[in-house]
Structure 1
Amino acid sequence: MPERRLDVLAIGNAIVDVIANADDGFLTQHGMHKGAMQLIDEAQATRLYEAMGPGRELSGGSAANTTAGLASLGLKAGFIGQLADDQLGQIFTHDIRSLGVEFDTAPRSDVDATARCLIMVTPDAQRTMNTFLGAAQMLGPDAVDPDHVADAKILYLEGYLWDPADPRAAMYKAMDAARAAGTKVAFTLSDSFVVDRHRGDLEQLLNERRIDILFANQVEVEALAGVDDVESAVATLRDKVETLVVTRHEHGALAIRGPERADVPAEPIAELVDTTGAGDLFAAGFLAGEARGLSLEQSLRLGAICAAEVIQHYGARPEADLRALTGGLLA
């Protein structure tokens, strides 16, 4: 890859997570589908927050978590995401900058409150997310500077943010800038609901070769391919994207690039605590390997190591020094 100031520039939801323990009965009572993410409005967010047990407030957002992982791995990462000019916005800004991630998107006083995600963690460590997008969905094309995109090796786009019109326009602008500059474009499907709501757009992005690296878990890739078997899904999509990466929870992950395929097992862990952020941190590890020119297998191993760290504690950002855990892969 060409020399650039940033290894990865990410665009995504700027969110503060509120994480609390809950049982299956609480999920049923409040109409949640276990393990999934649903969008809620501010009134719903207020009611749910009042019903939740004690919570932990942590800065989050899928792509922002990925940049946190990249920074922990010693890479140079930047983030673009919209905040409101409020207390949660100040918390998010402090947290992401303190990690060494470049973040310069100006907060706005003319938008709803900063986004928040209310996350219920059940005893089996599954996380169920309820997201009020607030200011995050007001990210517009003006927030994207083509020169900023051109200064990164990889542009990473969060599927969760594809839903609102303004951020979608911002991401199209960023993809155009990336194509002009020779910056690789990575896109994460984020959730099967993104596939269900935006199948036409996603198929068009693939057909127009706007995406170089596609991240999906097994459910998402099967949904996009319209099949119920991961190998059939991979066979359907492998020729539509330069690099296809599929995570398979406890069964590890695979990556396909042309005729090349790599598979790695999940990393062993001491205790499964909270799966929040597993995909985000897996993406961080894989993108770190790609930015450093490692092999598919090495990039997958980095992803597996990062995902294993984050699922052994609450919260979607690493607590350990990820670079120290990689065994010299990024040396």
Structure 2
Amino acid sequence: MVVGGSGVDTIVRVDALHVPSADSYGVPPIEEWAGHTGTGVALGCATLGLTTGFLDFIGNDHQGTLIRERLAGTGVDFWPLISPHGTRRAVNLVGPDGRRTSFYDARDPLDLRMPAEHYLPRLHRARHVHLSITNFARYLYDDIEALGIPVSTDLHDWNGATPHHREFALRSDLVFLSTAGAGERIGAVMQEILRKGRAQAVIATAAAGGAYLLTPDDRTPRLIPPAVPPGPVLDSNGAGDAFTCGFLYGRLEGRDLEECARLGAIAGAHACTARGTHTALIKPDELSYALNSTGAAATIPVTLTTTVPAARTGDQVSRTGA
């Protein structure tokens, strides 16, 4: 069950992410895609054969229609509520190398709540819940814990200090985040999540640098080497969500955490090989083939005094971006 995080991405392709000041620029055709993190996790998990439900608010607007149309026939059971504030959206600048910068419009008011009668019957059917860090989703934690359902979340580019993310960080069993926000402090942030919260694992993605896995058995994060994309890198939109899907797929199959992270790396690399958001969704046979082809890659312990490579500017994402 995925909760929150639907929206629409407007993709603008630019020659460089640091656009110089000017009145106007000519760009290739501007594209609009149903995207954002919740949509990506729901689509990716369904493509991997997991029975997937998706709960969220959307607007009674053009963007909400795009989300409904994108999810139709994909195997995702989508149960939306209509928000008078409209559908979330983002404008993403994408450079020639596929990296992006996202300008995110959350638009949900802080007092938005999902009624318990809408989500509780669906939670009773869930084996695992993935909460996007949309504000209303935090109010589901008590019911999720009372039902004994494991929960994951993606903090995206959290710097370890912003208050909005902290409850999600400390009340989830699996915590994903990017190295982009904390930079050289990412090891310390991962340790704090593990020490103060209930996480069984913290996973930090580092774009082309791979990912870092920290569990209670580790003294320092383990480096998970990056996977080789099966084609040219065209667009990194949705790569982080794809990583989460690959990891959750492995976890729900009972695989060990290190192998789950390798599956995530493979899925994330695969997502970068098509233009648009959530357009290259990996299938189970492709994931298994890639895992078996790479073999058991060695992992490298990383001390907390070691600089963990941060993603470049183009990898920085919005609060609920990929």
Structure 2 partner of 1:133: 106
> Does the CA contact (< 8 Å) of 1:81 and 1:139 recur in 2?
no
Structure 1 partner of 2:259: 298
> Does the CA contact (< 8 Å) of 2:158 and 2:178 recur in 1?
no
In the superposition, the TM-score normalised over structure 2's length comes to 0.78
Distance 1:187 1:320 in 2: 20
Structure 2 partner of 1:177: 143
SS in 1 for 2:151: strand
Q: 1:77-135 CA deviation, whole Å, 9 max, x = no partner?
A: 11122111122212211211321111111334xx1332222111012322111223346
Distance 1:95 1:154 in 2: 23
1:62 correspondence with 2:37: yes
Q: How much identity, in percent, do the aligned residues show? A: 23
Q: 1:252-290 CA deviation, whole Å, 9 max, x = no partner?
A: 123222215754211112322111111111011111111
Structure 1 partner of 2:70: 95
- The count of residues paired between Structure 1 and Structure 2 equals 285
SS in 2 for 1:281: helix
Which of 54, 62, 78 aligns to 1:79? It is 54
Shift of 1:172: 2.9
> Does the CA contact (< 8 Å) of 1:286 and 1:299 recur in 2?
yes
Shift of 1:156: 1.2
> Does the CA contact (< 8 Å) of 1:82 and 1:139 recur in 2?
no
Q: Give the 3 Å change call, closer, same or farther, for CA 292–107 of structure 1 in structure 2.
A: same
Long gaps (5+) in structure 2: 293-322
Distance 1:245 1:10 in 2: 18
Long gaps (5+) in structure 1: 1-8, 31-46, 162-167
> Does the CA contact (< 8 Å) of 1:72 and 1:318 recur in 2?
no
Which of 154, 159, 169 aligns to 1:188? It is 154
Distance 1:91 1:236 in 2: 39
Distance 1:181 1:284 in 2: 23
Which of 114, 117, 120 aligns to 2:87? It is 114
Shift of 1:175: 0.9
Structure 2 partner of 1:257: 215
Structure 1 partner of 2:275: 314
**Which one has a larger percent helix, Structure 1 or Structure 2?**
1
- In the TM superposition, 1:166-315 aligns within 5 A as 168=135, 170-192=136-158, 195-198=160-163, 202=166, 209-220=170-181, 222=182, 228-240=184-196, 241-259=199-217, 263-269=223-229, 270-315=231-276
The CA RMSD measured in Å over matched residues stands at: 3.0
Q: 1:37-88 CA deviation, whole Å, 9 max, x = no partner?
A: xxxxxxxxxx99x986522221101121011111111111111221111222
Distance 1:90 1:24 in 2: 32
Q: Give the 3 Å change call, closer, same or farther, for CA 70–139 of structure 1 in structure 2.
A: farther
Distance 1:89 1:316 in 2: 16
Q: Give the 3 Å change call, closer, same or farther, for CA 145–229 of structure 1 in structure 2.
A: closer
Q: 1:182-221 CA deviation, whole Å, 9 max, x = no partner?
A: 111212112237x55426x60x555xx522111112234x
Which of 13, 30, 38 aligns to 1:21? It is 13
